[in-house]
Amino acid sequence: MRDTFEQEDKVIMIVPSVVFIEIFDKWFLGSTYADEEFRAKLLAEVIYPIQSATNIEMREIDDEVVEEFLSLYDKDTKLEQHDRLILASAIVLDACLITSDRELISFQKKYSQPPSIVT
């Protein structure tokens, strides 16, 4: 991802805003990483560069994403709510999804949605 910050207009990356909620849930709530130094580092090295990059966009959860989110269900693939929102965003944008999440990879293999995943 660091290369994306440095490649003005060559790479367009869209980060669903729910990704930051997931980061907060996993890294801050009840975590040893919840100290001020780590928060400051996350802001300085991730959030602020994303906000100032011309080729990276934070995507909000809009009506189209919510509609797609509500249609995503598979009884065999147990997607967490955050992951369903991220998946819905990729489908709506017809974009490649970058993930290492096994459930998202399994869903994509089964339904070919989104069109591609980079792991």
55-102 pLDDT, tens digit each: 988 899 999 999 999 999 888 888 999 999 999 999 999 999 999 999
Let me know whether 53 and 69 are in one domain. no
What residue type is assigned to position 30 of the chain? G
Rounded Cα gap, residues 58 and 54, in angstroms: 11
Higher pLDDT, 72 or 31: 72
Please report which confidence band the pLDDT of residue 8 belongs to, taking 50, 70 and 90 as the band edges.
low
Asked if residue 35 has pLDDT above 80, the reply is no
Let me know whether 23 and 5 are in one domain. yes
Let me know whether 46 and 76 are in one domain. no
> What average pLDDT does the segment 94-114 reach?
92
For residue 70, the model assigns a pLDDT of 93
For residue 46, the model assigns a pLDDT of 86
Let me know whether 49 and 88 are in one domain. no
Question: Domain residues for 81?
Answer: 61-119
Let me know whether 83 and 47 are in one domain. no
> What average pLDDT does the segment 39-59 reach?
87
Let me know whether 24 and 44 are in one domain. yes
Let me know whether 2 and 49 are in one domain. yes
Let me know whether 34 and 12 are in one domain. yes
Let me know whether 89 and 119 are in one domain. yes
Q: Please answer whether residues 19 and 58 qualify as being in contact, where contact means their C-beta atoms are separated by less than 8 angstroms.
A: no
Let me know whether 52 and 81 are in one domain. no
Residue identified by tokens 């980061």 is 23
Q: Of 13, 36, 59, which one is at a domain's C-terminal end?
A: 59
Let me know whether 35 and 78 are in one domain. no
Task: Give, in order, the Cα–Cα distances in Å from 35 to each of 17, 20, 31, 38, 45.
Answer: 22, 17, 9, 6, 16
